[in-house]
Amino acid sequence: MLRSLVGSEMCIRDRVNGDLCTHCGRPVEKGRVEKMSKSKKNVVDPNMLIDKYGADTIRLFSLFAAPPEKDLEWSQQGVEGAHRFLNKVWAIVDRFTSHHLAKDTNYNNIKGLNGIEGKAMGILRKTHQTIKKVTTDIERDFHFNTAIAALMECVNGLSGFTVESERDVSLLGYCIERLLLMLAPFAPHISEELWRVLGKQDSIFLTPWPVWDEELAKEQEIELVVQVNGKLRAKIMVPFGTSDEELRQKALNDPKTVSYTHLTLPTIYSV
């Protein structure tokens, strides 16, 4: 928060140019990050932020910045990051509807997608992993911040996916629908609007919560962290379900660990 050195009037960040307040002309100082308090005169007016970024952005940031049991430290960069994320979701849906939206907007049936592989399988698997993560974090732990983080990872995967066939169109539509359903509790206004953009007639809040497929939600590979004498020496990707003995041999034979393991066996951690 930026505060005028003279008097108690607070200077708004957008009115600061260099070291001076463009509104009152007085010098400003950058205070340390601390909790909002009326006594410290560092309260942020939510109405101004809502006018600039929208209610969904402020809601999303507040839920993402800290778990419910901890205090929230305000961050302008965090608000802008939440705004960029919602714009990214909008861009994904806009690109999809502009080029690929079919007359039949029901993408619930993916039986015809059996046998997909590569990047297509990657976004399908990521979608089901996200459904599982978000559902668990909301229902069991009330960890909204980690649920939103999972949604951000899913969005990154969808934004980098290139449609190459009609099957990819159906798959992308399937994943986008489930993304919006999961986003709706955190950003209801934009989710409802994008739901209608997809051609849906009923409200998104009348649509059942998505269910994950346990097989699709499984990791195909896991990352192993190899330490020697407490120091990180290698990271290895291995198939899920690899036995302990196979993991040990892979760690011992990895080029990055060979020179360190002639006297000491490495410590292996799965991530």
Whole-structure pTM over 0.85, yes or no? no
In terms of C-beta distances under 8 Å and separation of at least 24 residues, what long-range contacts does 104-107 make, across chains too? 105/173, 105/198, 105/199, 105/200, 107/170, 107/173, 107/174, 107/176, 107/177
pLDDT over threshold 50, residue 4? no
Mind listing the pLDDT tens digit for each residue in 165-192? Answer: 888 888 899 999 999 999 999 999 999 9
What average pLDDT does range 261-270 have in this prediction?
56
139 vs 231, which has greater pLDDT?
Answer: 139
Q: How many whole angstroms separate alpha carbon 237 and alpha carbon 224?
A: 6
- For 160-227, where are the alpha helices, taking DSSP H only? 166-183, 188-197, 214-217
Each residue's pLDDT tens digit, 234-255: 777 666 566 777 767 767 777 7
